[in-house]
Amino acid sequence: MTQHIHHINFIVRDLAAAVPVWERVLNQQVTSLDRLDARGVNTARFDLGQSWIVLVQPIRAGTVPAIYLEQHGEGFFLMSLGTNSLQAEIERLGEAVFDGPERDGLDDWRVRDIAATGIFGAQVQFVEDSDS
């Protein structure tokens, strides 16, 4: 069952330039800086209680985030819906709703993308925390 908005990703060209702007907007310091080699990105996360704001900077050409940045420019990238059981969501919706395999995210998050063509072009995914 979808429980909350887990995180919202914004794609940026320059993480070092974006972090101070977001720190000012959110009136808080960045919570963590991470590298996710499997996705070819560096990230900056802001903890907003039940949700995260995640800034994503592609660091490798040809990855999904790099292609998205190239095609759409900076700004909103995707929304992640928190669930207590990723497997239950897959079984409930059916495999055809999803795009690509389940993968690892930050902090042992388990992630599965919904095919954008099936959700009116929106970039949405389900995320299960390791503590769910």
In sequence order, the 6+-apart residues with CB closer than 8 A to the CB of 102 are 86, 90, 110, 111, 112
pLDDT at position 132, please? 57
Tell me the pLDDT tens digit for each residue of 71-129.
999 999 999 999 999 999 999 999 999 999 999 998 889 999 999 888 898 999 999 98
pLDDT digits (tens, 9 = 90+) for 41-70: 999 999 999 999 999 999 999 999 999 999
* Predicted structure pTM score: 0.91
Host domain of residue 29: 2-128
76: domain CATH number is 3.10.180.10
Instruction: Tell me if 78 sits within 8 A of 32, measured CB to CB.
Output: no
pLDDT at 27: 97
> How many folded domains does the chain comprise?
1
